[in-house]
């Protein structure tokens, strides 16, 4: 079942109560006048019957909603030329308002309905329609729309302002901090020392226990053990949910239908999860060498314990070199430094003076923008 469906359960009489003599459960289609006192039916008093009071209308031919006589308010069948109650011409008369649908779960009884409930529903609908018309008229005349209710009240407002102030402060402080630490000025600086640092990451082959879905287990994995585990879920068809609905047809009858919608449920999708042991290279330590301008730049001896592809064997991994220059600001006592490229580092001799951007409030020298000074 992949779509909604509707099943016809027949056409029945709406009921009405006579407002003149109090007779109740009168048939809305058959009795346009009270069989007890002759009073005209008020179509706003039509209500749905309890199951026990249902009267079926066989071979019902639906023409349309009843129309209300403008002269006497009596309902007349659609298509009638003259009012059956007072004889007035029905041309251009308004159709009756429909009662809202009534619904009940499949197998459950419908909630009890009354003429009073029907009348209240019609009044509410009428008031809503009036309000809508008024709003439309106001809008057409340029009147301001009704003021929307203040959300949260004054407390919310104060909290809102507080949050706004905090947010503003945070932005200002953040910006200020950025400006404070990011500010640079051009200064004359003297190189006081130069150094280099080289590093080699040392990796060790290790035996690691891991787990993965079966198709992701790496080749060469050992001691593989798998089990069934929930991997995903999918929605599957699970019959349908139905309810019975009564629909006022406006001609003194209502139609009862069964409306069904397909239902789904979540079902687990299983997969095979495996634990396994695999040998992997992992970074375990770093070898480091440093030197000054007189020392040839060289990489450290990583002192590998054991080479090869065994568990516990080591190999040299990623290499890096950093060239650092220490500075003193002329006229000041501040010590500054920069990490830079080999070619700049080579050019700068200890004791030489340079001009370039330095941090006003933090240790920063833009060594890529240095110009010889004096
Ligand atoms: Zn009556
Ligand atoms: Zn009439």
Of 347, 348, 332, 329, nearest in space to 193 by CA: 348
The reported pLDDT for the residue numbered 373 is 85
For the chain, give the longest Cα–Cα distance: 124
Identify the nearest ligand to the CA of 76 by its number: 2
At residue 281's C-alpha, the angle toward residues 275 and 286, to 5°, is 135
**Ligand nearest, relative to CA of residue 21:** 1
Distance in Å, CA 174 to ligand 1 centroid = 81
CA dist 49 and 115 (Å) reads 10
d(CA 13, CA 36): 18
Q: Cα of 40 to ligand 1 centre, how many Å?
A: 8
Question: For the chain, which residues make up each domain, given as ranges?
Answer: 12-140
Ligand nearest to the CA of 80: 2
Ion ligand 2 residue ranges (Cβ < 5 Å): 69, 71-72, 74, 83, 85-86, 88
**284 touches 40 (CB < 8 A):** no
**pLDDT of 1:** 44
∠ CA 7-8-13, nearest 5°, is 150
Q: How far away, in angstroms, is 53 Cα from ligand 2 center?
A: 29
* Distance in Å, CA 40 to ligand 2 centroid: 9
Ligand 2 center–CA 72 separation, angstroms: 4
86 CA → ligand 2 middle, Å: 4
CA 246/CA 251 separation, integer angstroms? 14
CA 205 vs CA 116, 150, 274, 279, 316: distances in Å: 85, 67, 22, 6, 11
CB of 349 closer than 8 Å to CB of 190: no
Ligand nearest to C-alpha 93: 2
The rounded distance, in Å, linking the Cα atoms of 54 and 28 is: 12
- Walking along the chain (374 residues) 10 residues at a time, the average pLDDT comes out as 82 96 95 92 94 93 92 89 90 89 91 92 92 90 59 58 78 77 88 96 95 94 96 93 96 96 94 96 95 94 92 95 93 88 94 92 90 84
Q: In 49-67, which positions are buried (b, 16+ CB within 10 angstroms) versus exposed (e)?
A: beeeebeebeeeeeeebbb
Residue 159 Cα, ligand 2 centroid: separation in angstroms? 63
How far is 344 from 255, CA to CA, in rounded Å? 91
Handedness of CA 157, 162, 165, 168 (dihedral sign): negative
Kindly report the number of other CB atoms within 10 A of residue 252's CB atom: 25
Q: Which residues contact 229 (CB under 8 A, 6 or more apart)?
A: 270, 271, 272, 273
Q: Which ligand is nearest to the CA of 89?
A: 2
**Contact present, 221 and 337 (Cβ < 8 Å):** no
Measure Cα distances from 192 to 330, 338, 340, 349, 363 in Å.
Answer: 11, 12, 15, 9, 15
Q: Which ligand is nearest to the CA of 45?
A: 1
- String of DSSP letters for 266-335: EEEEEEEEEEEEEEEEEEEEEEEEEE-TTSPP-------SS-SSSTT-EEEEEEEEEEEEEEEETTS--E
Span 178-207, pLDDT tens digits = 777 788 889 999 999 999 999 999 999 999
pLDDT single digits (tens) 16-30? 999 999 999 999 999
- Could you tell me where the beta strands, DSSP code E, fall in 214-252? 222-248
Instruction: Report the separation in Å between the CA atom of 93 and the middle of ligand 2, taken as the mean of its atom positions.
Output: 10
- State the distance from the centre of ligand 2 to the C-alpha of 323, rounded, in angstroms: 105
For residue 134, what are its two tokens?
A: 């008024």
């Amino acid at each position: 079942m992949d779509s909604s469906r509707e099943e016809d359960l027949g056409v029945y009489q709406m009921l009405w109560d006579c407002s003149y003599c109090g007779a109740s459960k009168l048939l809305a289609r058959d009795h346009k006048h009270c069989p007890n006192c002759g009073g005209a039916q008020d179509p706003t008093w039509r209500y749905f019957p309890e199951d026990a009071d249902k009267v079926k209308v066989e071979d019902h031919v639906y023409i349309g909603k009843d129309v209300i006589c403008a002269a006497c308010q009596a309902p007349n069948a659609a298509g009638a030329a003259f009012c059956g109650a007072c004889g007035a011409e029905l041309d251009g008369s308004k159709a009756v308002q429909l009662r809202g649908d009534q619904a009940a779960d499949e197998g459950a009884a419908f909630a009890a309905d009354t003429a009073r409930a029907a009348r209240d529903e019609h009044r509410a609908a009428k008031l809503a329609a009036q309000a809508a018309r008024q709003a439309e008229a106001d809008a057409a005349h340029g009147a301001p729309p009704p003021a929307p209710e203040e959300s949260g009240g004054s407390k919310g407002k104060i909290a809102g302002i507080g949050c706004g102030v905090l947010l503003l402060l945070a932005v200002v402080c953040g910006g200020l901090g950025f400006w404070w630490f990011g500010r640079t000025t051009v200064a004359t600086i003297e190189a006081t020392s130069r150094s280099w640092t080289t590093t080699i990451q040392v990796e060790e082959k290790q035996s690691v226990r891991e787990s993965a879905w079966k198709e992701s287990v790496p080749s060469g994995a050992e001691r593989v053990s798998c089990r069934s585990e929930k991997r995903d879920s999918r929605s599957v068809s699970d019959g349908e949910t139905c309810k019975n609905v009564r629909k006022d047809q406006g001609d003194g009858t209502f139609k009862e239908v069964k409306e069904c919608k397909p239902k789904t449920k979540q079902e687990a999708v299983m997969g095979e999860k495996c634990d396994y042991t695999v040998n992997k290279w992992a970074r375990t330590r770093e070898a480091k060498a440093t030197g000054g301008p007189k020392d040839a730049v060289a990489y450290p001896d990583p002192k590998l314990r054991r080479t090869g592809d065994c568990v516990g064997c080591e190999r040299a991994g990623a290499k890096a070199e950093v060239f650092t220059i220490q500075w003193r600001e002329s006229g000041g006592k501040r010590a500054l430094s920069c990490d830079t490229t080999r070619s700049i580092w080579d050019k700068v001799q200890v004791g030489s003076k340079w001009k370039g951007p330095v941090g006003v409030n933090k240790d920063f020298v833009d060594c890529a923008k240095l110009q010889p000074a004096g």
